[in-house]
Amino acid sequence: MKIGFIGLGIMGKPMAKNLIKAGHELVVLDIKKESVAELVALGAETGENAADLAKKVKVIVTMLPNSPQVKEVVLGEGGVIEGATSGSVVIDMSSIAPLASREISAALAEKGVEMLDAPVSGGEPKAIEGTIAVMVGGKKEVFDANYDIMMAMAGSVVHVGDIGAGNIAKLCNQVVVALNIAAVSEALVLAQKAGVSPDRVYHAIRGGLAGSTVMDAKAPMMMDRNYEPGFRIDLHIKDLNNVLETSRGVGVPLPLAAQVMEIMQAIKQDGCGVEDHSSIVKFYEKLANIELGH
C-alpha cells in the first residue's frame, strides 16, 4: 500500500523505515532534507508539501512534535486538508492535546476525511525494533481498516475510544512514566548516598513489585551517565503541559505530576532539555551532592 508519512524525527524515521520493511510504499516529508534523503535511498518518494503528498496517497501518517505543528501540517496553507480527498485517512501518531485532535478531526470530516489519533509509547529503541505501543482514538471501523498499517510499526495497537481518547491514554502513560523515572532516581541516589551499589540494588529489586519497564530502560542509563535522548526532557515537559491543562479542564488534581513537572523545568534550566528524560536523576544528585555510578 502507498502511505504518506510526515515527520521523520527520532521516532518518525524508524517508524517509517518499518513500514518500508513491511512492504509498503512511502511518500515522505520532513523539514530535514537529510532525513528525507535517507528514506528516499530506501525507495520512498517525496512530496513538494503536505497537500502534494496527500494527493498521492489515501492514508497519511503524521509524527510531529506538538499540537501547533500538527494543525499547521494538516490544516494550514499547503496542508494535508488541501490535497486529501473524501475517504482518505489521517493517522496522527504525534502526542498532542486531546482537544486539538478533536478540532483537527472535525475540520477533516467536513471534507470527508477520517482521522485517528494514535500516539505512541516506547521511545527510540522500541521505534527501531517496531515494538512501540499505540493508543488509538477514532471510529472503530476506521481503526479496524488501518490496524495492520499501525501494527507494522508496533508491538501493540489498542483502540481506546472516540477521537481524542488515544491522546488521553498517552497523557496517562506519560504521568506514569514521569513518576516512575523520578522514583527510580530517588531510590538509586539513596542507595549511592548510603554507600550501597546502585547497580546491585537495581538487580535486587527489579524482579519484585518495584520492577518495571521504565526501571529496566532508565536505571542502566542513569548509572552509565548516558543521556542520549530516546525521549527528550523538552518533549516530556510538553506532554506534562498537556496533562496538567487537561487535568484542570476536567477537574482532576494531579499533585505528583505537577511536582515532577517542576523537577523537569529545573533541570531544563540547567541545560538538560535536549537530554533523555532519565536525566531527571541529576536533580536528585544535586540535592544529595553525589554523582550516581555503578
- Write the pLDDT tens digit of every residue in 161-190: 999 999 999 999 999 999 999 999 999 999
- Cα–Cα distance for residue pair 61/20, rounded to 1 Å: 13
Do both 136 and 174 map to the same domain?
Answer: no
CB 72 within 8 A of CB 105: no
The per-residue pLDDT for 230 is 83
108-144 confidence digits (pLDDT tens)? 999 999 999 999 998 888 999 999 999 999 999 999 9
Is residue 294 included in any domain, yes or no?
Answer: no
* CA neighbours closer than 13 Å in the CB half-sphere of residue 66: 11
Amino acid at 154: A
pLDDT above 90: residue 43: yes
* 89-92 and 59-62 strand pairing: parallel
Element (H or E) spanning 84, and its range? none
Treating both helix axes as pointing N-terminal to C-terminal, what angle do 255-267 and 233-250 enclose, rounded to 10 degrees? 150
Q: What CATH number is given to the structural domain containing 238? A: 1.10.1040.10
Do both 146 and 178 map to the same domain?
Answer: no
Is residue 293 included in any domain, yes or no?
Answer: no
Do both 194 and 132 map to the same domain?
Answer: no
- Cα–Cα distance for residue pair 172/132, rounded to 1 Å: 16
The per-residue pLDDT for 20 is 98
Buried b (16+ CB within 10 A) or exposed e, 100-116: bbbbbbebbeeeebbbb
- Cα–Cα distance for residue pair 99/15, rounded to 1 Å: 25
- Mean pLDDT across the chain, nearest whole number? 96
pLDDT above 90: residue 241: yes
Do both 104 and 180 map to the same domain?
Answer: no
For 206, phi and psi rounded to 5 degrees? -65, -25
Q: What is the pTM of this model?
A: 0.89
pLDDT grade, residue 293 (50/70/90)?
A: confident
The per-residue pLDDT for 123 is 85
C-alpha cell at 20: 518500508
Domain range for 25: 2-162
The domain total for the chain is: 2
Last-in-domain residue among 106, 131, 162 = 162
pLDDT above 90: residue 45: yes
Burial of residue 34 (CB within 10 Å: 0-12, 13-18, 19+) is: exposed
191-235 confidence digits (pLDDT tens)? 999 999 999 999 999 999 999 999 999 999 999 999 998 889 999
The per-residue pLDDT for 274 is 96
- Cα–Cα distance for residue pair 170/127, rounded to 1 Å: 16
Do both 34 and 124 map to the same domain?
Answer: yes
State the catalytic residue, choosing from 13, 17, 126, 170. 170
- Verify whether residue 218 is a known catalytic residue: no
Sign of CA dihedral 275, 277, 278, 281: positive
Element (H or E) spanning 5, and its range? strand 2-6
